[in-house]
Every structure is written in C-alpha cells, then in structure tokens.
C-alpha cells in the first residue's frame, strides 16, 4: 500500500515476491500517487471529521473508494495486453487473501471489499472503451457531495469466483485430479483382470470369500477374508505407511497462500514454505490459517446408494494439524465440517521446524480453493 501526503511511501509485507508481482504492485501504487489519490483521500478524511454524524457521508465513502480503485485499475492496465491483465487480477487476488486488517485511513492499497473486487475484476477484463473523464467527474461529484472521504472497507473474505485467473487454477486442479484418478482406476482394473494385485496373489478365490464375510450394508474387513483363507495378512504397519505415502501430496506457499488442489477420501495435503522447507517457529508464535473449500462442485448431494440402500455421505470433514521437528503429526482441529470457509488460530508449543497439513477422512471429494498461512 502507499501512505502519506507530504512524503508518500510504499509499504510491502515481508514476503517472497516474484519480479512480475513487484512490477504489478508498484505500478498500481505509483498510479495512485500520479493520480493524486492520497490528496483526495486527505480531503475526504477532513469531510468525514466534519460530517461524521451524516449516514449519507458514510454511504458515499464506499462509493468513492470503489470508483477510485476502478479508475486506478483503468490507468494501470491501459495499453497492456491480456496476459498483463490476467497477472494483474491474480496479484490483486493473492494480496487480498494474505492481507491483515489495517485500521488506518490515509492510504491506498490493492485491497477492497467483496462487491468492489467483483466490479474491479469485471472492469479489468471488460472490452468496453472507458473514458478517463468519467473517473475524474465521479471523484469531483463525490468531493462536492460529501466534502471528503476516509478509507473504509468491511474486509469480508472474498470468494474469487468472478476472477478468470483463479477459476483457471481450479479447473487445472480438477483436470489434474481426474488424470490421476483415471490412471489409478486403469491400474487397478488391469491388476484385477490379470489377478496380479497382492490380494489375488495371496488368495486366488478372494471374491468368493469377500461375499461370505460381507455384512448387510455391503461392508467387509480384509482381516476376516485373510483369516477365512488361512493366510497370514501382510504387515499392516508397513502397508499403512505405503498407503499414507501414496495419498500424500506436498504444496509450497506462493505469496502467502496455497493454490487450489483437490482432496479425496484418505488424502493428505502437506503445506511448506515457498522454498519447500518447513517454517522455523518459536514457542508461543501465533499461526493463523484461513481455508476456503467447495464441497459440492465435484460431489453434489448428501446421500449415496449402495446395495439398494440409502446412506448419508460423510462429507466436508477436514482435520488440520502440524508436523513437528520429530516428524510427529499433531492434530490441531480434528474432523471439523467445512462448508465454505474456516479460520484457525493456535500457538506453537515449542521451538522447531513445522509443516502444516489437511487430512480429508470424508467419503466424498473436496476442492480446497485456497489456504492462507500466516506464521
């Protein structure tokens, strides 16, 4: 953000920015400076002080802020190509995800509330020609009408469904997930056809034995099948380790958030720093996690039918925790039901290295739209 009238300065949070991100952020903030937006906001603040009791002033404040950001975006992307516009909207999205609330007034930044963000994304990608005079006239009318403006924002968490760049990330995650699942299904089908999977090799008549031990709901325990066959079961600890490894994916932080990914039944997502290393944290450090998920897009409905019976899905339950320096997995919040968003805050118990994880024990599939980690 840019702040100050006499000596304007640009402030950036301590994060690893790419060269492109820095170029876009500085372009946006310097555009605010060149448009003299901070001086206008100074006048708005004075007007708000004088007319704090007037509700129409407060209503106009948000309208003025919205127009100012739209005009700044218009000037910043002017004469740039579609790729720049896509990168520009993507940077705005990431900055909002990773921001902290700022209780200040005299500054301009890339953040806005939900409705303003939706308008800005539509404005960025619109093909319509805009006239610069509209922005000036809008600001002038608001200055005359309310005699000033103070920075205001409700800081609601935004879903970025209106952002084409963000939707593209989700679509890519879905395609990648489908490719993996198709490959796994083909491998299982081939093993079953050739009867080369571990169970068939140990128990040639496994299908018959499964039907003998299956309960009324269609469930069965493989230990019962092994016992019935008189075969020593495999090392369950080693088998569990292999299963966990096969169901674990690793994601690195990008500008303070994790990009979209998909979790199915039994999947683990382990989150690391941008460099792929754990966080170095001290005892008592506060960690803030913000998770946004979509439990319906890939798995609509709340019931599943098996063997002629109707069962309620165990849908949308996540477990969040950390992996410490000793490699121990410690659950912080166990099997919480997430609908759209969840915020988690906790303190680090001791000095050391930490990664964070989500485990999905539910029977459906969930899109993790993004995870913001402030540690």
Q: What percent of the chain has pLDDT over 90?
A: 16
Structure-block tokens of residue 78:
């002017």
Reading the block at residue 368, the tokens are: 């993790």
Q: What is the pLDDT of residue 151?
A: 36
User: How many other C-beta atoms can be found within 10 angstroms of the C-beta atom of residue 6?
Assistant: 5
Which residues share a beta bridge with 252? Answer: 272
d(CA 63, CA 65): 6
Output the pLDDT for position 153. 36
| Residue 54 or 337, more confident | 337
103 to each of 106, 153, 262, how far by Cα in Å?
A: 10, 10, 35
Query: Mind listing the pLDDT tens digit for each residue in 186-203?
Result: 766 666 666 556 666 678
Per the listing, tokens 């300065």 go with 9
244-374: CATH, from 2.60.120.680, 3.40.640.10, 3.40.1170.10, 1.25.40.10:
2.60.120.680
> pLDDT tens digits for 87-97?
887 787 776 66
* Confidence class for position 352, pLDDT limits 50, 70, 90: very high
CA distance 15 to 362: 34
Q: What is the pLDDT of residues 130-158, one digit of tens each?
A: 444 445 444 444 444 444 433 333 334 44
Q: Give 335-342 contacts, CB < 8 A, sequence gap 24+.
A: 335/361, 338/291, 338/293, 338/295, 338/366, 339/293, 339/295, 340/159, 340/292, 340/293, 340/294, 341/157, 341/290, 341/291, 341/292, 341/293, 342/290, 342/291, 342/293, 342/318
CB-based burial label for 258 (10 Å; 0-12, 13-18, 19+): buried
pLDDT, residue 78, reads: 79
Say if residue 104's pLDDT is above 70: no
The partner residues of 107 in beta bridges, in order of sequence, read 3
What is the domain partition of the chain in residue ranges?
14-150, 244-374
Cβ-contact 373, 258 below 8 angstroms: yes
Q: pLDDT at position 135, please?
A: 52
> In terms of pLDDT, which residue wins out, 263 or 159?
263
Give the pLDDT confidence score for residue 107 in this predicted structure: 45
Give backbone dihedrals phi and psi of 9, rounded to 5 degrees, phi first: -135, 150
278 — pLDDT class (breaks 50, 70, 90): very high
């Amino acid at each position: 953000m840019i702040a100050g009238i006499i000596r304007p300065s640009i402030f950036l949070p301590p994060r690893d920015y790419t060269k492109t991100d820095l170029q876009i952020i500085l372009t946006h903030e310097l555009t605010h400076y060149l448009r003299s937006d901070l001086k206008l906001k100074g006048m708005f603040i004075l007007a708000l002080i004088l007319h704090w009791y007037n509700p129409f002033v407060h209503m106009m404040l948000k309208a003025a802020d919205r127009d100012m950001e739209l005009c700044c975006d218009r000037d910043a992307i002017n004469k740039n190509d579609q790729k720049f516009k896509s990168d520009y909207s993507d940077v705005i999205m990431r900055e909002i995800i990773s921001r902290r609330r700022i209780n200040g007034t005299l500054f301009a930044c890339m953040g806005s509330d939900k409705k303003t963000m939706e308008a800005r994304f539509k404005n960025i990608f619109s093909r319509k020609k805009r006239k610069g005079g509209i922005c000036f006239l809008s600001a002038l009318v608001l200055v005359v009408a309310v005699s000033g403006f103070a920075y205001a924002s409700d800081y609601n968490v935004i879903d970025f469904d209106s952002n084409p760049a963000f939707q593209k990330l989700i679509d890519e995650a879905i395609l990648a997930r489908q490719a993996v699942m198709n490959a796994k299904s083909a491998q299982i089908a081939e093993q079953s056809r050739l009867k080369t999977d571990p169970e068939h090799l140990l128990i040639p008549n496994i299908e018959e034995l499964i039907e003998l031990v299956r309960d009324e709901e269609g469930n069965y325990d493989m230990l019962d099948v092994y016992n019935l066959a008189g075969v020593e079961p495999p090392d369950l600890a080693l088998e569990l380790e292999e299963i966990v490894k096969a169901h674990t994916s690793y994601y690195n932080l990008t500008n303070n958030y994790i990009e979209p990914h998909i979790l199915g039944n039994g999947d683990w997502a382990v989150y690391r720093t941008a460099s792929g290393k754990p966080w170095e944290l001290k005892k008592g450090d506060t960690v803030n996690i913000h998770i946004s998920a979509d439990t319906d897009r890939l798995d609509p409905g709340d019931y599943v039918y098996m063997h002629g019976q109707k069962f309620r899905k165990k849908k949308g339950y996540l477990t969040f925790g950390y992996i410490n320096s000793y490699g121990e997995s410690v659950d912080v919040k166990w099997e919480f039901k997430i609908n759209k968003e969840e915020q988690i805050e906790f303190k680090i118990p001791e000095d050391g290295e930490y990664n964070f994880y989500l485990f999905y024990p539910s029977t459906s599939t969930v899109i993790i739209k993004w995870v913001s980690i402030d540690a």
